[in-house]
């Protein structure tokens, strides 16, 4: 049997070559994304680098997650920019106000990280299991749409002003009013990023797409002399160019360390964002870690409570020195696997390469055009809200699609917490319509029976839905020593999509450890879609 790689010091000599190579390739992806995410959040560009360094070189040693990459994520942009905006961020018009808003947001980040540590200590990682799958997908898609709406004008060289829905409506206007040379860099960047999706030969993608964007656009910006303030004419109209279209980081990264101001915690705004950073950051991180476990070549499993402790510790330190919030990031983690990483030291190497690059050659970062970073984030937002995501949710079932779309529009029209609350409420209404008894929406009806011949049987009555999944999972987890467990759903009137998808995941987990989870009692349940994870409703006989 092939030895399973483990991320401990004793095994470092066995896997360091693969981990270092993958860490270097992930660093090439992380560098521009960290800068772009920082600026999109209203934080200084260096903030995301601080976070990725700490996520790689500190969180690695708290978590047992072997292949996840810890760092800033596009999914938290909406929360971060909302936080600094409500604290008085002016977008550069008043530097002193912007610095104070940034410091107040850091204070919020420190406390949110502390709460995530408590989540890990008190084994609250399972709370991430509460939220319905369709609403979570809707939340992420809405975040993707907001990112695209806010970053597209930056890629065109114009200022984004307005709500997400207003920005979407203004897209034709942004194209008409774009700064031509800045817009050219943004358009070339988008062509490269989307063009990479069409390349099937992995040998042609040795250089990651974000780094290829920089290799093309940095020389272009130098050719167009972005570093000098000047104007140029195009079709009879004057446009300006200058350093304000380039990234700005200090020559000495340590001079950029900024300490938090905790006075924002005396306000309702501060605590609103503490909850949002802690809750939504935790959900995203848990989902990413779970997804990466599913494609781990060695089928290793992350201890989600331990991983939450790692993310919380990383967030607390990062916010204390001026960094963005971090999560276990899905895109870079997937690249880490594709690049052949074997253990968590790949994450540490990626952090080390970022530290070396920023410490030794910060001047190169100051040559990166903002339009290129904006284009990268447009692409990132597109991947979160791709048409395939909408098609997938429709195939899961029309009712799930309704929950998904309700969450998307709820987030776009209000905010993240209200949006996902709208999705959850729509889900409850649908469950009541489909026959779930109101008294069982939060209280699971689960019993465990042991028979001499039948073995262990877990029986569920009334309904098995997202809001009672935690109770059902805890009952199944208490039987982890059993080699054959029967789950009887014959007395349920409804088994929802979230529960079906999680049960199928559990079946695979049982199989991987040589046990059997046998799901029975669904013979008289009608699937509400052709998708294997579709909702099931009992047919009256």
Q: Where are the domains of the chain?
A: 20-383, 386-433, 438-538
Say if residue 314's pLDDT is above 80.
yes
Residue 541 confidence (pLDDT): 63
pTM over 0.85: yes
Banded model confidence at residue 14, pLDDT cuts 50, 70, 90: confident
> Shortest CA distance to 313 belongs to which of 156, 471, 117, 171?
117
Is 49 in contact with 253 (CB distance < 8 Å)?
Answer: yes
Number of C-beta neighbours around residue 477 at 10 A: 10
Banded model confidence at residue 1, pLDDT cuts 50, 70, 90: very low
Per-residue pLDDT tens over the stretch 444-496? 899 999 876 667 999 999 999 999 999 999 999 899 888 899 999 999 999 99
Residue 146 confidence (pLDDT): 95
Stretch 178-185: mean pLDDT: 97
Query: To which residue do tokens 């938290």 refer?
Result: 76
Maximum CA pair distance of the chain?
A: 89
Percentage of residues of the chain with pLDDT beyond 90: 81
Say if residue 229's pLDDT is above 60.
yes
Residue 452 confidence (pLDDT): 67
Could you tell me the two tokens for 64? 């047992």
Stretch 412-431: mean pLDDT: 93
Stretch 40-53: mean pLDDT: 97
Strands (E), 48-111: 69-71
Banded model confidence at residue 127, pLDDT cuts 50, 70, 90: confident
Per-residue pLDDT tens over the stretch 269-310? 999 999 999 999 999 998 899 889 989 999 898 998 999 999
DSSP state of 296: -
* End-to-end Cα separation, the chain, in angstroms: 51
- Write the CA distances from 226 to 105, 250, 290, 496, integer angstroms: 31, 18, 43, 55
The phi, psi pair for 224, rounded to 5°, reads -80, 0
Is 499 in contact with 465 (CB distance < 8 Å)?
Answer: yes
Q: Which residue has the higher pLDDT, 7 or 38?
A: 38
Per-residue pLDDT tens over the stretch 261-280? 999 999 999 999 999 999 99
Three-class DSSP labels, 463-518: EECHHHHHHHHHHHHCCCCCCEEEEEEEEEEEECHHHHHHHHHHHHHHHHCCCEEE
Residue 101 confidence (pLDDT): 98
- Write the CA distances from 238 to 87, 173, 230, 231, integer angstroms: 35, 18, 10, 6
Residue 7 confidence (pLDDT): 79
Stretch 410-420: mean pLDDT: 91
Query: To which residue do tokens 């270092």 refer?
Result: 20
Exposure of 99 in the CB half-sphere (CA atoms within 13 A): 7
Q: How far apart are CA 342 and CA 8, in angstroms?
A: 11
When mean pLDDT is compared across 62-76, 414-428, 444-458, the lowest value belongs to 444-458
DSSP state of 127: G
Burial label, 51 (beta-carbon count in 10 A; 0-12, 13-18, 19+): buried
Residue 382 confidence (pLDDT): 95
Q: How far apart are CA 143 and CA 385, in angstroms?
A: 8
Residue 454 confidence (pLDDT): 66
> Shortest CA distance to 264 belongs to which of 448, 107, 431?
107
Q: How far apart are CA 316 and CA 278, in angstroms?
A: 11
Could you tell me the two tokens for 62? 């708290």
CATH code of the region 438-538:
3.30.750.24
Residue 6 confidence (pLDDT): 83
> Shortest CA distance to 186 belongs to which of 217, 147, 164?
217
Say if residue 530's pLDDT is above 60.
yes
CB-based contacts of 389, cutoff 8 Å, min separation 6: 137, 141
Mean residue pLDDT of the chain comes to: 93
> Shortest CA distance to 332 belongs to which of 64, 26, 21?
26
Percentage of residues of the chain with pLDDT beyond 70: 99
Q: How far apart are CA 459 and CA 456, in angstroms?
A: 10
Could you tell me the two tokens for 83? 């936080």
Banded model confidence at residue 2, pLDDT cuts 50, 70, 90: low
Is 393 in contact with 404 (CB distance < 8 Å)?
Answer: yes
Exposure of 462 in the CB half-sphere (CA atoms within 13 A): 17
Stretch 518-522: mean pLDDT: 95
Per-residue pLDDT tens over the stretch 328-348? 999 899 999 999 999 999 999
Say if residue 161's pLDDT is above 50.
yes
């Amino acid at each position: 049997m092939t030895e399973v790689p483990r991320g401990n010091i004793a095994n470092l000599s066995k896997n360091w070559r693969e981990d270092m190579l993958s860490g270097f390739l992930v660093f090439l992806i992380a560098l521009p994304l960290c800068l772009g995410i920082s600026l999109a959040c209203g934080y200084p560009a260096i903030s995301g680098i601080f976070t990725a360094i700490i996520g790689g070189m500190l969180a690695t040693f708290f978590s047992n997650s072997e292949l996840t990459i810890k760092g800033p994520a596009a999914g938290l942009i909406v929360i971060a920019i909302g936080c600094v905006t409500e604290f008085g961020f002016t977008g550069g018009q008043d530097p002193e106000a912007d610095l104070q808003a940034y410091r107040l947001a850091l204070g919020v980040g420190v406390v949110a990280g502390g709460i995530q540590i408590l989540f890990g200590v008190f084994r609250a990682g399972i709370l991430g299991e509460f939220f319905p799958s369709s609403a979570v997908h809707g939340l992420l898609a809405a975040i993707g749409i907001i990112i695209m709406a806010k970053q597209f004008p930056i890629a065109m060289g114009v200022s984004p002003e307005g709500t997400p829905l207003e920005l979407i409506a203004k897209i034709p206007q942004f194209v008409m009013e774009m700064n031509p040379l800045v817009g050219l860099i943004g358009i070339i960047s988008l062509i490269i990023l989307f063009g990479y999706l069409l390349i099937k030969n992995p040998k042609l993608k040795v250089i990651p797409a974000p780094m290829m964007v920089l290799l093309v656009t940095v020389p272009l910006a130098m050719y167009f002399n972005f570093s000098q303030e000047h104007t140029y004419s195009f079709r009879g109209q004057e446009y300006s160019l200058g350093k304000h279209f380039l990234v700005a980081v200090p020559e000495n990264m340590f001079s950029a360390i900024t300490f938090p101001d905790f006075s924002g915690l005396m306000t309702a705004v501060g605590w609103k964002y503490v909850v949002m950073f802690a809750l939504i950051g935790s959900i995203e991180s848990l989902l990413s870690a779970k997804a990466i476990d599913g494609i781990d070549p060695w089928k290793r499993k992350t201890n989600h409570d331990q991983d939450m402790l790692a993310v919380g510790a990383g967030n607390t330190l990062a916010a204390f020195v001026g960094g963005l919030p971090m999560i276990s990031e899905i895109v870079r983690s997937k690249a880490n696997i594709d690049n052949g990483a074997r253990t968590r030291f790949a994450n540490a190497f990626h952090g080390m390469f970022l530290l070396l690059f920023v410490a030794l050659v910060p001047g190169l970062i100051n040559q990166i055009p903002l339009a290129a970073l904006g284009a990268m984030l447009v692409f990132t937002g597109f991947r979160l809200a791709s048409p395939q995501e909408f098609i997938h949710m429709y195939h899961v079932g029309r009712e799930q699609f309704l929950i998904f779309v309700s969450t998307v529009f709820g987030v776009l029209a209000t905010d993240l917490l209200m949006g996902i609350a709208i999705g959850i409420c729509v889900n409850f209404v649908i469950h009541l319509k489909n026959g779930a008894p109101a008294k069982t929406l939060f209280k699971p009806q689960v019993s465990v029976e042991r028979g001499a011949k039948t073995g262990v049987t877990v029986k569920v009555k009334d309904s098995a839905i997202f809001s009672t999944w935690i109770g059902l999972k805890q009952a199944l987890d208490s039987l982890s020593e059993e080699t054959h467990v029967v789950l009887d759903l014959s007395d349920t009137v409804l088994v929802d999509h979230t529960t079906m998808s999680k049960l199928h995941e559990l079946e695979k987990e049982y199989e991987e450890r040589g046990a059997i989870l046998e799901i029975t009692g669904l013979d008289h349940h009608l699937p509400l879609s052709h998708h294997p994870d579709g909702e099931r409703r009992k047919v009256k006989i």
